[in-house]
């Protein structure tokens, strides 16, 4: 982290908000420091679709003018919002000009909550077209991973993860329909929290993806993730305490038949399990029953969501991979293959899994392989994109179908120098428990928080 006497870039959200509330610095200075860093670093990263430089300074000045900052948990904290979430005065991009909708008149509720907590929105971050892919690029631009510019930060909240990992903002908003917060968190060495169903208002219309999507947070520390989650959930910040002795299920089996985690991802799970045992918990093998019907239901829902979201768009202007996804989605939707029943059955089975195995949480790999290359996906074939998505990032999607909370926690670096992480999943209403366990891992094995470029 850089010297805070000269810049606030690299500080945590908690450090910034505390300093602004105390009067040690101003929101205006903090935002100006981060806008300067964005101007320096983002040309190489392409994390942002739009930077609100002038507007952000004006809004930071308004934060400084408030007489009582004590009740602003994110006072002066620069944040980024994923571009499919309405921000007043900006178009809502949805990953490409072809999918862009009109200028939003009002902030989405999660944006309103961030602003209400004293945060300053410095811009909106890039995502793949319609949020469908686990890589973030379009035919003209690729968002890049700060740890290695030739690799993707993942998707669909790829721009958000790249921005946080590069220190352009301390925390960022993302949303997660089939892993779109957790996959980029794992790629970029971040904490990525997807809350359970109904905890945070979604209200993205067709982009709710038939109940799969949840708003979440990306951060470099567990404390910042907990703070961001509390704001998005409309709760008072909760102090995390180490949990009492838990039974942690450990599962390596991939939800996709024929896909296996590589050695660094297996080692990350093994390391996390050992750290949890050292922290006083018990571990047992526990493999979810990822059935063929789950896979088919997930695929049909994914296809159908693309079709529903495409209504009113000029399909001829969309990327070829997206158009084929939409065609398959139309077939799935019209034939009733994206039914709610199988999704409800998987949710019930997932909740019962914890009780039947006598476990409190489940530990799995976050990814199966190293992040793919940064560019070329948007112009590639649908089949090539499907193979890439499924082969490197199969572990997140089942928990969107189930609507259960899940978090990705960094576990250091792979031999190739890229981050590696693990995933923790819990039953309904276990977000704070997952954050507390993540905090124990953070204390036991601290990670490098950012990769400055």
Q: In DSSP terms, which residues pair with 247 in a beta bridge?
A: 282
From 17, 41, 148, 180, active-site residue: 180
> H or E segment at 272?
helix 263-278
**Nearest-angstrom CA–CA distance, 175 and 168:** 19
- Does the annotation mark 156 as catalytic? yes
**Nearest-angstrom CA–CA distance, 106 and 88:** 5
Task: Return the ∠ at Cα 311 (arms to 336 and 181), rounded to 5°.
Answer: 80
From 46, 96, 148, 156, active-site residue: 156
Contact 113, 232 (CB under 8 A): yes
Q: Is the Cα torsion angle 266, 268, 271, 276 positive or negative in sign?
A: negative
Token pair, residue 421, equals: 């992480």
Contact 196, 405 (CB under 8 A): yes
Contact 304, 210 (CB under 8 A): yes
From 14, 46, 82, 436, active-site residue: 82
**Nearest-angstrom CA–CA distance, 392 and 138:** 20
Contact 120, 52 (CB under 8 A): no
Within its chain, how far is the Cα of 404 from the centroid? 15
Return phi, psi of residue 278, to 5°: -60, -30
Over its C-alpha atoms, the chain yields an Rg (Å, rounded) of 20
- Does the annotation mark 82 as catalytic? yes
Cis peptide before 400 (omega within 30 of 0): no
Give the pairing type, strands 171-176 and 120-125. unpaired
Residues with a catalytic annotation lie at: 82, 156, 180
């Amino acid at each position: 982290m850089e010297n805070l006497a000269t810049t606030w870039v690299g500080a945590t959200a908690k450090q910034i908000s505390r300093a602004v509330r105390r009067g040690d610095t101003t929101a205006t200075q903090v935002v100006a420091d981060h806008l300067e860093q964005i101007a320096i670093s983002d040309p190489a990263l392409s994390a942002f679709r739009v930077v609100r430089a002038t507007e952000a300074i004006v809004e930071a000045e308004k934060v400084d003018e408030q007489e009582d900052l004590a009740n602003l948990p994110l006072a002066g904290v620069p944040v980024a919002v994923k571009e499919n979430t309405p921000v007043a005065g900006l178009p809502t991009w949805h990953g490409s000009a072809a999918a862009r909708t009109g200028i939003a008149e009002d902030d989405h509720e999660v944006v309103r909550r961030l602003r209400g907590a004293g945060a300053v929105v410095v811009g909106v971050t890039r995502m793949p077209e319609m949020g469908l892919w686990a890589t973030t690029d379009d035919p003209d631009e690729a968002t890049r991973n700060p740890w290695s510019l030739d690799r993707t930060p993942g998707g669909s909240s790829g721009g958000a993860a790249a921005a946080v990992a590069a220190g352009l903002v301390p925390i960022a908003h993302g949303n997660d329909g089939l892993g779109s917060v957790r996959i980029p968190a794992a790629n970029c060495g971040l904490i990525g929290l997807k809350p359970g169903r109904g905890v945070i208002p979604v209200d993205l219309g067709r982009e709710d993806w038939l109940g799969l999507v949840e708003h979440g947070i990306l951060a470099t520390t567990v404390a910042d993730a907990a703070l961001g989650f509390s704001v998005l959930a409309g709760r008072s910040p909760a102090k995390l305490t180490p949990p009492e002795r838990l039974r942690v299920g450990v599962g390596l089996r991939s939800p996709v038949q024929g896909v296996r985690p590589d050695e660094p991802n297996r080692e990350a799970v093994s390391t996390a399990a050992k750290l949890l045992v050292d922290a006083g918990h018990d571990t047992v093998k526990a493999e979810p029953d990822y059935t063929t019907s789950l896979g088919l239901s997930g695929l049909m829902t994914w296809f159908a969501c693309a079709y529903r979201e495409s209504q009113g768009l000029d399909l001829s202007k969309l990327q070829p991979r997206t158009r084929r996804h939409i065609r398959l989605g139309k077939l799935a939707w019209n034939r009733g293959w994206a039914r709610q029943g199988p999704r409800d059955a998987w949710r019930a089975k997932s909740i019962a899994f914890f009780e039947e195995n006598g476990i409190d949480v489940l530990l799995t790999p976050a990814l199966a392989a190293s992040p793919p290359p940064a560019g070329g996906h948007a112009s590639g074939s649908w089949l090539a994109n499907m193979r890439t998505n499924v082969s490197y990032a199969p572990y997140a999607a089942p928990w969107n179908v189930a609507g259960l909370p899940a978090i990705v926690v960094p576990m250091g670096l792979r031999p190739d120098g890229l981050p590696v992480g693990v995933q923790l999943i819990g039953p309904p209403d276990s977000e704070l428990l997952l954050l507390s366990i993540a905090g124990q891992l953070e204390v036991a094995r601290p990670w490098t928080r950012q990769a400055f470029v």
